[in-house]
Amino acid sequence: RGGKIVVGPKDGEATPVIPLTFTLQGVHEISAVGTIFPDSHGQPRVHMHAALGREGKARVGCIRTGIEVWKIGEIIVLEIIDNTAQRKEDSKTGFTMLES
């Protein structure tokens, strides 16, 4: 309730990228996939995209702070062993990109 997702850039040609956000109203069904990799300082960073539905309408986007689990949340974690990938800021886009 009141959580936000990024549903695209306001302008696909503009730099810096300005995110277009959508505020969720009410409880939604959700299916998501994401990663947890360290940033350049070694801190874990989550990057998650989700499809959220309610009353026959669906939204798809990148999860932002404020998404809360209503009753039940099921998570499956798969560990990648001996991986050196990390998220680093891309100066061109301002995004933190996954690099190995």
The H-assigned helical ranges of 14-74 are none
Task: Report DSSP state, residue 86.
Answer: E
Tens place of pLDDT for every residue, the chain, 100 residues?
A: 689 999 999 999 988 889 999 999 999 999 999 999 999 999 999 999 999 999 999 999 999 988 999 999 999 999 999 999 999 998 888 889 999 8
**CA 62, CA 4: separation in Å to the nearest integer?**
9
The full set of domain ranges for the chain reads 4-99
Q: Which of 75, 83, 80 is nearest to 30 (CA)?
A: 75
β-partners of residue 49 are 33, 62
Task: Tally Cβ neighbours within 10 Å of residue 63.
Answer: 19
Decide if 74 contacts 9 (C-beta within 8 A).
no
